[in-house]
């Protein structure tokens, strides 16, 4: 599993599901993050943080290594931000996001009907 250090900082009752070669992290009926380290499209490897566009600016101020999810040509912003694998502050940024999750920061996480019970 990639980026195992995150589990030292996440709540103990998270649920992890592996799908499509990635690890989906759920907590309290929300998708919180996805851990991705695959050989194809390495520019998408890292910690994907589930959020909402309205929270991007404030989260990027709190965690400067969070960035847009898409880079191809024009920047598209969806409901995800990415801490890209290999950036200098990768682990510190990942820990900060996990601490925000552990403190129930409302800017992180999206309700999903597919959240495991």
Range of the domain at 52: 4-111
pLDDT digits (tens, 9 = 90+) for 32-42: 999 999 999 89
- Residues 114 and 26: their CA atoms lie apart, in Å, by 10
User: What confidence score (pLDDT) does residue 73 get?
Assistant: 55
Segment (H or E) for 19 = strand 15-19
pLDDT digits (tens, 9 = 90+) for 62-87: 999 998 876 555 555 678 999 999 99
Q: Is residue 116 part of a domain?
A: no
Specify the CATH number for the domain of residue 28: 3.30.1460
Q: Is residue 117 part of a domain?
A: no
Helices (H), 69-112: 90-102
Strand partners, 48: 34, 82
């Amino acid at each position: 599993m990639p980026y195992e250090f995150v589990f030292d900082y996440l709540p103990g009752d998270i649920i992890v599901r592996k799908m499509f070669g990635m690890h989906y992290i759920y907590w309290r009926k929300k998708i919180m993050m996805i851990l991705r380290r695959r050989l194809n499209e390495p520019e998408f490897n890292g910690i994907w943080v589930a959020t909402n566009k309205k929270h991007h600016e404030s989260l990027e101020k709190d965690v400067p290594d969070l960035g847009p999810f898409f880079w191809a040509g024009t920047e598209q912003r969806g409901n995800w931000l990415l801490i890209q694998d290999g950036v200098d502050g990768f682990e510190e940024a990942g820990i900060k996001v996990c601490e925000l999750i552990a403190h129930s920061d409302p800017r992180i996480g999206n309700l999903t009907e597919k959240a495991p019970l």
